[in-house]
Amino acid sequence: MTDSRIPADLPDHIQHYIDGAFVDSVDGDTFDVLDPVTNQTYTTAAAGKKADIELAVAAAKRAFDEGPWPRMLPRERSRVLHRIADLVESRDARLAELESYDSGLPITQALGQARRAAENFRFFADLIVAQSDDAFKVPGKQMNYVNRKPIGVAGLITPWNTPFMLESWKLGPALATGNTVVLKPAEFTPLSASLWAGIFEEAGLPAGVFNLVNGLGEDAGDALVKHPDVPLISFTGESSTGQLIFGNAAPFLKGLSMELGGKSPAVVFADADLEAAVDATIFGVFSLNGERCTAGSRILVERSIYEEFVERYAAQAKRVKVGYPHDPATEVGALVHPEHYEKVMSYVEIGKTEGRLVAGGGRPEGFDEGNFVAPTVFADVSPDARIFQEEIFGPVVAITPFDSDDEALSLANNTKYGLAAYIWTNDLKRAHNFAQSVEAGMVWLNSNNVRDLRTPFGGVKASGLGHEGGYRSIDFYTDQQSVHITLAEKSHNPTFGKN
């Protein structure tokens, strides 16, 4: 009897994709890939090392230096990107099935991420055609304009939460602007990344433009960051890894875009729509299994509504449906990997000494194996608590009261992170003043994490370096060259050395 939750036609082995061909590692090394529901190995993947990265970079550099992709008109590249988007859309069910199985994400949420991946490509396909660059005129004297040029080989290092969508977030603008790429996906979740090769081939992307090397961060990722022929690194992941990349890229003066960790506050004032705030903050920390960088995992609540909020929040958290990832009714699935599960559970135990446990706190009933964690809520959490300060990256939330606007702002800013913030109030002046004072790269007022792809995405403090999204992505993946032309009949240069 077949297991209905296991997708059909799973690969026995996942290879690299270099210069238009699937290949194993030079040394033949592999690593195991686990099913997060059972933690059993379901396939192996080629384990890339320095030699594999060198082959991939050489192919990408050759495609950039000699191939047609960087030299194509924006409209021609745009057509390829639209075909990629069409193919992703047409395969969204299969992509979601594989993503859900590999990562433990609930199937309905994985399907949304697959569709978002298609939209990322479509957005940048349109943007490069519509893009205009600056021109500056000094009438009768000078004309100045800006050329944009692709930079070269972009190294893309992506995380294991929503992997396919986050890969598209980098691949879309990198390819749209005419660069070639080497992608190093997260080792926990290599399955969906392996589908890009077939999609790109079918869409007509030239060989060598896209290359993929699987492997551990300390092997394949490290070699990619240190390769002298890779002038750009875009990384999404932990802040500590970002620090290593920053140091390793420094000798080469590489362009860096890094979206790192978060411990984002959701601030709920007494005048807020309480039902909407509870709904949004439940979704904001428990969707995607809590494995999201922008999770509002610190909820700050004005004291006059604090007890009511905690009571309603805890009751609703207990009703969140934990289940197998393939079940459409599931709202929280399995965490990605046993290592991460142990980390999250260690924070749950720490939280029991730092706050009042009002929901969850362990395995959900009926799930004796796999990486399942019940949605966990701690109230009365002090700002010096570890569960207040440190990124847990799981379905765990800390709730803390405040008495004044100033205290709320102080608490909101009281971590090393600064990625997102969510503010719930019907006071317009307070909302805008608080938004401008909170230390966060992105702020949502009376709404959850809904992004317009034209806006910059990124954080401050330990949450990142640089921004991507919209024109900021175009800026990152291109060199801007200023060209100056004299229009005056006689140049007004200063003259040296004339009699």
Mean pLDDT of 34-42: 96
**With helix as H, strand as E and coil as C, how does the chain read?**
CCCCCCCCCCCCEECEEECCEEECCCCCCEEEEEECCCCEEEEEEECCCHHHHHHHHHHHHHHHHHCCHHHCCHHHHHHHHHHHHHHHHHCHHHHHHHHHHHHCCCHHHHHHHHHHHHHHHHHHHHHHHHCCCCEEEECCCEEEEEEEEECCEEEEECCCCCHHHHHHHHHHHHHHCCCEEEEECCCCCCCHHHHHHHHHHHHCCCCCCEEECCCCHHHHHHHHHHCCCCCEEEEECCHHHHHHHHHHHHHHCCEEEEECCCCCEEEECCCCCHHHHHHHHHHHHHHHHHCCCCCCCEEEEEHHHHHHHHHHHHHHHHHCCECCCCCCCCCECCCCCHHHHHHHHHHHHHHCCCCEEEECCCCCCCCCCCCCCCCEEEECCCCCCHHHHCCCCCCEEEEEEECCHHHHHHHHCCCCCCCEEEEECCCHHHHHHHHHHCCCCEEEECCCCCCCCCCCECCCHHHEECCECCHHHHHHCEEEEEEEEECCCCCCCCCCCCC
What pLDDT, on the 0 to 100 scale, is given for residue 1?
A: 36
* Exposure class string for 40-76: b at 16+ Cβ within 10 A, else e: eebbbbbbbbbebbbbbbbbbbebbeebebbeeebee
Q: Residue 428 burial (CB < 10 Å; 0-12/13-18/19+)?
A: exposed
pLDDT at 2 over 60: no
Across the range 480-496, mean pLDDT stands at 86
Tokens of 267: 């601030």
pLDDT band at 31 (very low <50, low <70, confident <90, very high): very high
Clarify whether 291 is annotated catalytic.
no
Taking the CB of residue 175, how many other CB atoms lie within 10 A of it? Answer: 27
What's the mean pLDDT when you consider all of the chain? 96
CA gyration radius, the chain: 24
pLDDT score, position 462: 96
- Considering only 364-368, 418-422, 486-490, which range has the smallest mean pLDDT? 486-490
Predicted pLDDT of residue 494: 81
Structure tokens at 273: 């729509």
Query: Could you say which of 259, 302, 354, 468 is catalytic?
Result: 259
Task: Decide: residue 339, CB within 10 A, 0-12 exposed, 13-18 middle, 19+ buried.
Answer: exposed
- For residue 439, indicate whether it is catalytic: no
- Phi and psi for 342 in degrees, rounded to 5? -65, -40
| Number of Cβ atoms within 10 Å of the Cβ of 212 | 26
Spatial CA neighbour of 63 closest among 178, 191, 199: 178
The active-site residue out of 97, 99, 293, 354 is 293
How far apart, in whole angstroms, are the C-alpha atoms of residue 331 and residue 344?
18
Q: What is the mean pLDDT of residues 475-480?
A: 97
Percent of the chain with pLDDT over 70: 99
Span 225-231, mean pLDDT? 98
Tell which wins on pLDDT, 5 or 301: 301
Give just the sign of the alpha carbon dihedral 16, 18, 22, 23: negative
What pLDDT, in 10s, does the model give residues 296-353?
999 999 999 999 999 999 999 999 999 999 999 999 999 999 999 999 999 999 999 9
Six-digit token string for 295: 């999770």
Phi/psi at 166 (5° precision)? -70, -30
Q: Report, as an integer, the average pLDDT of 385-397.
A: 98
